[in-house]
Amino acid sequence: MIDFKKLLNNDNHQESLQYLKEIVQKAVVGASTFDDVIERGGLRLVFEKSLPVQVASDLCAIIKRLGLYPYASGMERRSCRSNSPADYCENIFYIAQDIFADWVNYDLITSIKSNGNKRWQDWQNKYSHCGFLTETLLVALKIDQGDDAIIADIRDILLSGNNTVSISHELIKGVAMSHNEELHEIMKNLLLAAKLQEGLRQSILHNADGGTTKFLMLMMKTVSDNNLLRFSSAIRSIGVWMGLGYDYSEKRTVEKLLNLGIKYIEDESVRTIAKNSVDVIEMYAAMWAESVFSVQGLYSDIEKHMMHGKKHQKMVSAYFLMQTGSSSIANELFGETLYDRSRIELAGKYLGESDLDVLALIIQSYSLQYHRIVSNKGWGETDPLEQAMKIKIDLYSYPQYLKNENTRNVDFQHFSDMMERVPKKIILSRKSLLIG
């Protein structure tokens, strides 16, 4: 049973927020679909008890649509989608937090027309406005529900002669998340018209991968067909989408990866063949294209390559496995590492890998950050040894894979063996560096 007195406790907001986090975690753990999260997990009841009827209905609807979009955010995000609600736990929590927002004085169109100015003015009052994620999802929902007033207002904003002032990130991403082909075409034309407006072009491309697969493809083809890679914002965006990194600037590699990505998204049979290619870029692009539909479709390929593949196939697979991790924020929000559990479990299976180059990539997927798995960090101690002695590992914070003691013992032995295999010169060099 949900204690609504505790959840909606106006006297202690932090306690309410913590309780909401526990409700969301319970709803997500074990849920196989987003319907399960809403109905069996109790979030529909939470929304209906906390919000106006229409708002509660809308929040339920946008959570059920989350699987249409990538689960990660930020500059280190990748375009991976998932069929597991656990991968979206951070997004679900942020949406659920908006039960505390001021919906009485909220108007969707007024908000997106403000271009973020109102939110900046109200930053001291965090819940005077719903969050960025919720607003973008609401824009997409209303468009797809055929809300004529909303669609007309958005069309007017996009076609306005002064649109550079009024087009907000929320509006751009909301359109990208919708299935409205007319608005998609307007956005495409706006991108092409933004020749001297680097900021607008960057905003459109920065949000393109967060939308539907169809919108992403439209933007990718637009960039390719119109040589938009001559602009740094286009190169940066594709670098983020496809895992090259925000600062990657080698145009030739980006162009090849972009065109292969388009090809492999469009043709599943070609993508399947390319996932076994001897060409590293072809193989990587095919794995990325697969993840655009569902990251779960990659796990069997990764396991196959890690067990029987050639070195380059193992390295690409290990690197891509690392790329599928979600944002670090969620692991701070939730005690159990919900969405990195598959990644860590897969990496753990191959800690006995003999090739050190491959192993170095595998370890990056296996790692857990220290501050997320301890219940008492020993802060305040001036002596590092005293601090270390007071640290207590919280097994609850481990992903499920590592809660098994035998598994941890086996993995520890692998790490012990690794220390014997690392070239001694590197160890000595590192030791000298530390001493110096």
β-bridge partners, 393: 374
Q: How high is the pLDDT of residue 429?
A: 45
pTM of the shown model: 0.84
Q: Give the C-alpha separation, 202 to 124, whole Å.
A: 28
Given a cut of 80, whether residue 361 has pLDDT beyond it is: yes
Distance CA 264, CA 257 (A): 10
Most confident among 53-67, 166-180, 248-262 (mean pLDDT): 53-67
Hey, CA dihedral for 299, 287, 141, 75, is it positive or negative? positive
- Say what the pLDDT of residue 268 is: 94
Whether residue 392 has pLDDT greater than 80: no
Per the model's pLDDT, the better-predicted residue between 252 and 141 turns out to be: 141
Q: Residue 128 pLDDT > 80, yes or no?
A: no
Mean pLDDT, range 280-303, rounded to an integer: 90
Q: Residues of 42-60 as b/e, b for ≥16 C-beta within 10 angstroms?
A: bbbbbbeebbeeebbebbb
Q: What percent of the chain has pLDDT over 70?
A: 81
pLDDT surpasses 80 at 28: yes
* pLDDT in the model for residue 388: 65
pLDDT at residue 330 is higher than 50: no
60-89 confidence digits (pLDDT tens): 999 999 999 998 877 667 788 988 898 898
Does position 381 have pLDDT exceeding 60, yes or no?
no
Q: What percent of the chain has pLDDT over 90?
A: 38
